[in-house]
Amino acid sequence: MNTPLNLLFDEIDTPLGPFALVADLDGCLRASGFTDGHARMERQLADFSESPGFSLARAPNPGGLSEAITRYFAGDLAAIDCLPIVESGTQFQRAVWRALREIPCGETWSYAQLAQHIGRPTSVRAVGLANGANPVGVVVPCHRVIGANGALTGYGAGLERKRWLLAHEGHAYQGPTDSVYDVIR
C-alpha cells in the first residue's frame, strides 16, 4: 500500500497578486504560481488536496521557500536562483525546465534559442508546450521566453504579469506589439 505524499501549502502576497507554493516535507518546491486568474495553479492545488495519493496542509514558509520568493519580489532577484525543486513530467519537459533556469535574470530567449540550448533545434513547438506546462512558475522562469519576433507570448498568469516580471528583472522590453501569429519559431 502506498502512503500518501504529505505536502505543505503557503500563499503569499506579491505586487502581482496572491502567489501559492506547494512543497514537500524536505522543503523542495513542487508547484508555484499566481492563484487568481491562473487556472493551472488552481487545478494543481485542487489535485493535491483531493487526490488520494496526496495530503495538503497549510504551513507558513515551508522550507524557507515563502521567504525566498517574498525577497525576490522585494528586489533580491537572486533569492530564488537555487531553490530546490522536484521536477515531475517527461524527460523532455524536465530538460526544458532545467534550461529555463539557465536563462540569466534580465535576459530573454526565444523558443528557438531554448530548443537549440537543449540540443533539439527542430523541437521548437514541443519546447513551447513544455514551457507552458511548467508547474513551478517564477522560480522556473518560463516568463523569460518570448516569441521569435520578440513579442511577449502566452504566459499562463497573463501577459501583464509577464511584462512586469521582465521589467522587475531589469529587462527593458522593446518588442513588437504582442501577436499570436508567427511567434513560435
pTM for this predicted structure: 0.86
Give the per-residue pLDDT at 39: 64
**Residue 89 Cα to chain centre, angstroms:** 14
- The active-site residue, picked from 28, 82, 105, 142, is 142
For residues 133 and 128, give the distance between their C-alpha atoms in angstroms, rounded to a whole number: 9
Side-chain half-sphere exposure of 52, counting CA atoms within 13 A: 2
Give the per-residue pLDDT at 129: 94
In this structure, which CATH number among 3.40.50.300, 3.40.50.410, 3.30.160.70, 3.30.70.520 belongs to the domain 5-80? 3.30.160.70
Give the per-residue pLDDT at 38: 56
- Three-state DSSP at 15 gives coil
Provide long-range contacts, Cβ within 8 A and 24+ apart, for 15-21.
15/73, 15/164, 16/73, 16/157, 16/161, 16/164, 16/165, 19/69, 19/73, 19/138, 20/45, 21/62, 21/65, 21/66, 21/69
Give the per-residue pLDDT at 51: 72
Give the per-residue pLDDT at 178: 45
For the record, the C-alpha cell of 47 comes out as: 489535485
Name residues of the chain where pLDDT drops below 50: 1, 177-185
- Residues 125-155 have pLDDT tens digits of 999 999 999 999 999 999 999 998 888 888 8
In this structure, which CATH number among 3.40.50.300, 3.20.20.140, 1.10.10.10, 1.10.3720.10 belongs to the domain 91-168? 1.10.10.10
Domain ranges of the chain: 5-80, 91-168
CA-closest candidate to residue 119, choices 146, 95, 141: 95
Tell me, yes or no, if 82 is annotated catalytic. no
Give the per-residue pLDDT at 176: 53
Q: Say if CB 123 and CB 115 are below 8 A apart.
A: yes
